[in-house]
């Protein structure tokens, strides 16, 4: 793809780790500042897509093979729903996190952190999966 341009390579090499770190910050700091699982997932996926655009999709596929992104996609929703099931098993309503720990605040905090993580996983998995599928289709057309 764009792998001949050394400026792009150097700059994106510098940028990708901070972008991923920022994604994680948005993920786990969403309780205190703006952000949350959805934004974090998109930021994380965009770092991945930037890598794929600059260094080639083959290298990116090595970093995140299709089974991994599909696993992320499904496990995020399962984690979200699972938290709900656990909270209803522990005596609260479905998705009532107050019963997850001894303290209401601790339980809410745990529940929110978990489901935000689930949202982040699903969003990142969905974006990367769609991107990789587009690339796969493009390649299949070039082969024909």
Interface positions with other proteins (CB under 8 A): 26, 30-36, 38-39, 42-43, 45-46, 49, 53, 70, 73-74, 76-77, 80-81, 84, 95, 97, 104-105, 108-109, 111-112, 115-116, 118-119, 122-123, 125-127, 129-131, 133-141, 144
Q: Is 23 exposed, middle or buried (0-12, 13-18, 19+ CB in 10 A)?
A: buried
Cα–Cα distance for residue pair 117/42, rounded to 1 Å: 13
In whole angstroms, the minimum distance from the beta carbon of 122 to other proteins comes to: 5
Nearer to other proteins, 16 or 39 (CB): 39
In whole angstroms, the minimum distance from the beta carbon of 127 to other proteins comes to: 6
In whole angstroms, the minimum distance from the beta carbon of 113 to other proteins comes to: 9
Cα–Cα distance for residue pair 139/85, rounded to 1 Å: 42
Nearer to other proteins, 6 or 141 (CB): 141
In whole angstroms, the minimum distance from the beta carbon of 123 to other proteins comes to: 6
Nearer to other proteins, 10 or 138 (CB): 138
* Token duo for residue 20: 């991923």
Q: What is the CA radius of gyration of the chain?
A: 18
Spatial contact of 52 and 91, defined as CB atoms under 8 Å apart: no
* Token duo for residue 28: 């786990």
């Amino acid at each position: 793809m764009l792998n001949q341009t050394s400026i792009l390579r150097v700059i994106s090499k510098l940028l990708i780790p901070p972008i991923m770190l920022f994604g994680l910050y948005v993920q786990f700091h969403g309780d205190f500042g703006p952000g949350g699982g959805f934004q974090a997932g998109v930021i994380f996926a965009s770092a991945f897509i930037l890598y794929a655009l600059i260094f080639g999709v083959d290298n990116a596929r090595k970093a995140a093979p299709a089974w991994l992104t599909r696993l992320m996609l499904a496990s995020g929703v399962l984690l979200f729903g699972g938290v709900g099931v656990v909270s209803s098993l522990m005596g609260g309503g479905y998705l009532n996190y107050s019963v997850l720990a001894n303290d209401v605040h601790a339980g809410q905090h745990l529940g929110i952190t978990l489901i935000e993580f689930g949202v982040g996983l699903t969003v990142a998995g969905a974006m990367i999966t769609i991107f990789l599928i587009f690339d796969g289709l493009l390649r299949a057309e070039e082969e024909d």
